[in-house]
Structure 1
């Protein structure tokens, strides 16, 4: 499989505008509130958390970026790097020095896993599919990978194309012919070469490349993206487990989790590279007359390492992206060539029937363990369990990439797109190759080809290409496409491995270049070792074994993510109650007079104008509210948040709620593009500035610029009343949430709403 990282420039521009979120939602320029900032005592929701406990409130969660990042620049995780390297080097040396013993030992372990733990792999993948669908279809599916006001940085078509690029790999080409032929000749149930076997032959391969793998990618991708973009944590597995394990994810426990994810990723990438060189070796032999064998395969591994090092040291990210796009076009050209020069009507009919049969039989296949078949465990270990292990091993790797390109997407569109668009592309490729092979075997009676596809899948794939018109052109195009799959997989794999073995505070950053080179070399060594120990079969064994610990990570991520989604649900329920209890504006933007509305339509103020309005109107209004809160006995913290980007200090107030979550109200400068329409507007500048209100859930989405002092006071009180409504919902909930745990205080103990805005006296500017 292969993937590319998006260009950083556009990402940073969007991130600069979008990360104007609250301290609890990844607002980069503004760290979470600290006890020393205002000289007060910070209150926790519910009870005070022990330093090593998992977070149980939003205030605890907001400490995640600080607790997870010791440094603001990338650092190497030496413990993770050393332990993972020792495991991989030890396995590589064992496989190269004692190949027969390594092969026999892994065969025995795989046999034991298939017989005793096959149900566990099947159940794990089923639960993952159910979990991601539950997230997408629940009301929390509207939650964004970022602050509430963030929006996607890529258009829908570009984003879907990138999703496809993340999941299509050279291994699919390898199995797209041998898989259907094997299932036709020797299906897991029933007689071979029967009508039932024919109908299921391609569907089994589609099933193995279907939503199961993409559900694993979606699970880890949305979890890492959510905590990174919405909470300002690193883009890592550690951050996804922070709600479950707390500060301990930065210690030995977190290092163990990172090591498991890293080792699984290395074996997954090495397996894909090994399959790639086996397949490409045949193509290079046919095109250039080279001798097939282990020497050519090792040579291809060396070429991949050299190109990876060259790309890493030169920093040609645009070149990598260009190669990725060329890969997509070459794969599309290959598919269309096969479709229109082959049995077009037959292939299209078969494609539609395959998809229909896949949908109808999906629940049955997902839970199928072949417990009643004599050789069921052996078949499961060779096919379904191997692919499930493959996706588990690749989950952290592809998940990072999916998160990198999906900032601003909702959880619902992220999951639905991930398990539909790329899967349909996979189906198209598998169906075209698989049905073309079946047509040659069934209709033309080419038994020699069938035997070749079973005994030597790489040779069978190229043998199929030779049967099309203009065979050498198609073989060259297919080899180019496979080579691009192979190179991008090696390059992006080294990049992600360097990230997994580093501590990186910003999602747009990557690990050190020397570390990418190191992992490229180590992955190449492991690939060569498995080729020497037995080729593709040994790679399948190793993947199945080393993916087993990754299943534990999958369960931990689901527990952690479901815990934090309870917080999102509590906020949503609080907003529903807010709409029923708001006294003035219903939680929307403050009401403006018709003149104010008209003025706002043509006003695109500069930073200087906004800063002046902030000093003349907003700060005095907030100072009045603070003074009245204090006069009525509330514990209020008032201060300014330094914005290094704009250079303007932004006013903030926070009302301590004792055992409940504090009330947070902040006014921030947000840069926005000037629209291209409207009357009497100046185009002297492309951007203007807004004064947006931020609570702990992100931006309210409206602009305070141009309001009166009284209207701003009303807005503060409306937000405060909404906060009380939210706390009431959380307190009355039958199940304690991570945001506000259930405590024995009746709702009547909540602080009362202060006097109305009309009763607040004008006490002067902020001080």
Structure 2
């Protein structure tokens, strides 16, 4: 099939289909082997999971504070495509989904009712319950995503390599990545990603079934879950085929906001002061115990608890990392490494902590101070945890229906978007792969989720995540080595930024034809030589198309800067002009030192989205805004449609005058 890497795609698909066949034909023996396999992996490689995941977090923190933090994920003149607010929301959406809805209530209550150590139902058990939830969903998870996302973004956008996993190992393997070593890396990534997606889909359909049962629509059962998987996977497939993906994304945006409203609803109607108090204490306890819990392997008490909780989460995050990593890389182009790590590591984690506190601590408060019943209900049926908690609050039917719709929407977008990521990897980084293969991977994700539920339910989902993540954890370690190797090589080579200095007239530069009536020249002379009054503020900002911006920079901004440079030289100053495709900067030099800078640059902004969008569609939705950036980082917007050559010159004079106190 044209447009795909047949070796990678067919091999990965063959391995996954072999699993489906064996699990379907030998259901009972296969299910019996699952617990044995999980125990073997955790018992023999648990130390590696713990060490590697702690290492990924330390690696991210080291890069954050290192001199490499100023390097961009892209070329030196690339600018971020999203505002900070939109970017933070998208980062959270990458990790906010089925998992938080499934475990937001269930995990704290289960730890509270069955603590790893100590007595159940006590304040100490409640504190430890939240500490474990924070550990499993906090910095470590995003340290994993940073490792993959940073490597993908760096090699794809700074070094123009394909947006696929093997590119991150180029510094180690070189051209051998075009052969079997590279194929093997991508095969491991595809298999791990698909089982990670299937794990999320399996958890999601269990919760959808529980929500529909609560609403009295569908009873809980394996067959019902098989039907639900088939129906919702068909919806995801249809979105890929029919082009309604944009509509699905609109729904995902709506339900993302609905999730935040649900969070606010529970906070306001729950024990609000209690939640704020526990949030502060839980964060402090988490940070205090983080060094120990990061390396805790429990060698003296056996691996059973570790297998069901920490190992499962580390495996799930690692298997999910190619999907989330590629997403956060694609929305972070133009950010520096330090910006990327700071945003990805802290913004989503903060909101996750709030989520677990509001939902988990509300349930614990109900158990401890409001008559109990939560722990018994959750232990009896884990997927019902959220609905049992909502049932104790007003408007429970409405909130339960809303929660079910949110899970359905995240199910659809996860299947559709996850299939796109797998397809990109299987196509060697082709970001517009064939639609037929995307349909195949979406359907296969649903099939694997159904098979895992059939052969072992929740335990099978956990085992799948832990097992398939093991080889990819090794790949991630190599990704860290490859990234550091390339960063060191780049630093030794020195900065590669092109500075297009425009010579002034005395240096042989062509004289520039003056514009306007000369008043701005008198004002510029006044700025340098004496104080006076100044008028005309810059026009307000507006969005423009990319081509219009490039034309604006070349035809309007650059000539205006040349006018200014010529006049500055006549007045005893010098100017350096830097010009890029979507930006231009002018620096005023006095005695060889920069006195003032005035930059005009285009910045791409994108409407808020919470799904993994196709680049072609995303391009159509981009909006361009042109900004004036003054020395010190002060931003003021400039409207290109109204800002002619004369207006730019006058605005420069005004801002230069303000800077000199004129």
TM-score for both structures, normalised by structure 2? 0.76
Tell me how far apart the structure 2 counterparts of residues 672 and 302 of structure 1 sit (CA, whole Å): 54
What is residue 390 of structure 2 aligned with on the other side? 465
Q: Structure 2: how far apart are the matches of 1:141 and 1:84?
A: 36
Any stretches of 5+ residues in structure 2 without a counterpart?
Answer: 517-545, 564-575, 588-662
Matched, 1:563 2:488: no
1:710-762: per-residue Cα shift (whole Å, max 9, x none)?
Answer: xxxxxxxxxxxxxxxxxxxxxxxxxxxxxxxxxxxxxxxxxxxxxxxxxxxxx
- Name the stretch that deviates more: 512-521 or 108-117: 108-117
SS in 1 for 2:388: helix
- Equivalent of 2:357 in 413, 424, 431: 431
* Whole-angstrom CA distance in 2 between matches of 1:313 and 1:202: 43
Q: Secondary structure at the match of 2:251?
A: helix
Counterpart in the other structure of 1:382: 308
Distance 2:424 2:561 in 1: 49
Q: CA deviation at 1:593?
A: 6.3
**In structure 2, which of residues 241, 245, 254 is the aligned counterpart of residue 326 of structure 1?**
254
Asked if the contact 1:589/1:702 (under 8 Å) is kept, the reply is: no
> How far, CA to CA, are the matches of 2:464 and 2:180 in structure 1?
25
2:229 aligned partner: 301
Alignment match, 2:178: 250
| 2:165 match | 237
Residue-by-residue CA offset, 1:391-437 (whole Å, 9 max, x unaligned): 10011111111111111111111111001111111111111111011
**Structure 1 residue 553 corresponds to structure 2 residue 478:** no
The correspondence for 2:448, drawn from 523, 526, 532, is: 526
Q: 1:97 to 1:408 in 2, by over 3 A?
A: same
**In structure 2, what is the Cα distance between the partners aligned to 1:568 and 1:136?**
17
2:44 counterpart residue number: 116
1:102 counterpart (30, 39, 44)? 30
Cα distance between partner residues in 2 of 1:432 and 1:597: 65
Q: Aligned pair in 2 of structure 1 residues 491, 601: CA closer, same or farther (>3 Å)? A: farther
Q: How far does the alpha carbon of each residue in 1:525-580 deviate from its partner, in whole angstroms, 9 at most, with x for none? A: 111111111211111011111111011111110111010010222144x79xx9xx
Alignment partners' CA distance in 1, 2:555 and 2:250: 29
| 1:215 to 1:597, Cα distance in 2 relative to 1, 3 A | farther
Aligned to 2:405: 480
Sort the Cα spacing of 1:433 and 1:680 in 2 relative to 1 into closer, same or farther, 3 A: same
The residue correspondences of 1:164-313 to structure 2 (distance < 5 A) are: 164-313=92-241
Is residue 2:325 matched to residue 1:399? yes
Residues 563 and 453 (structure 1), Cα distance of their counterparts in 2 relative to 1, 3 Å cut: same
CA distance in 2, matches of 1:439, 1:294: 32
SS at 1:161 equivalent:
helix
The answer to whether the Cα contact below 8 Å between 1:669 and 1:691 also exists between their aligned partners in 2 is no
- The 1:699/1:437 distance shift into structure 2, 3 A limit, reads closer
Q: Which residue of 1 aligns with 2:421?
A: 496
Pair 243,198 (structure 1): closer, same or farther in 2 beyond 3 Å: same
Question: 1:637-671: CA deviations, max 9, x gaps?
Answer: xxxxxxxx99xxxxxxxxxxxxxxxxxxxxx9995
Q: What is the aligned-residue RMSD (CA, Å)?
A: 3.4
Tell me, in whole angstroms, the C-alpha distance in 1 between the residues paired with 2:122 and 2:155: 51
Query: Matched residues in 1 for 2:460 and 2:142: separation?
Result: 24
CA separation in 2, counterparts of 1:593 and 1:291? 83
Q: CA deviation at 1:349?
A: 1.5
Give the CA deviation at 1:118: 1.1
Residue aligned with 2:368, SS? helix
Matches for 1:532-551 after TM superposition, within 5 Å: 532-551=454-473
1:459 CA drift (Å): 1.8
TM-score by length of 1: 0.66
2:376 — aligned with what? 451
How far 1:675 moved relative to its partner? 6.4
Contact (CA 8 Å) 1:96, 1:530: kept in 2 or not? no
Provide the residue aligned with 1:10 in structure 2: none
Change (3 A) 1:670 1:400: farther
Tell me the SS of whatever aligns to 1:191.
coil
**Post-superposition shift, 1:700?**
12
Q: Would you say the 8 A contact 1:234–1:504 is kept in 2? A: yes
Paired position in structure 1 for 2:644: none
Distance 1:591 1:327, change over 3 A: same
Report the CA distance between 1:702 and its aligned residue.
Answer: 6.1
- Aligned mates of 1:210, 1:600 — CA distance in 2: 58
Kindly indicate whether residue 337 of structure 2 is the aligned counterpart of residue 411 of structure 1: yes
Are the structure 2 counterparts of residues 603 and 522 from structure 1 closer, same or farther at C-alpha, using a change threshold of 3 Å? farther
Q: 2:5 matched to which residue of 1? A: 77
SS state at 2:320 partner: helix
Q: CA deviation at 1:455?
A: 3.0
Q: Distance in 1 between matches of 2:13 and 2:188?
A: 12
Aligned to 1:353: 281
Name the CA distance, whole Å, in 2 between partners of 1:381 and 1:335. Answer: 30
CA contact (8 A) 2:35 2:459 kept: no
Would you tell me which structure has more helix in proportion to its own residues? 2
SS at match of 2:189: helix
Structure 1 portions without partners, runs of 5+: 1-72, 579-585, 605-644, 647-667, 682-689, 705-767
Distance in structure 2 (CA, Å) of the matches to 1:676 and 1:132: 40
SS of equivalent to 1:419: helix
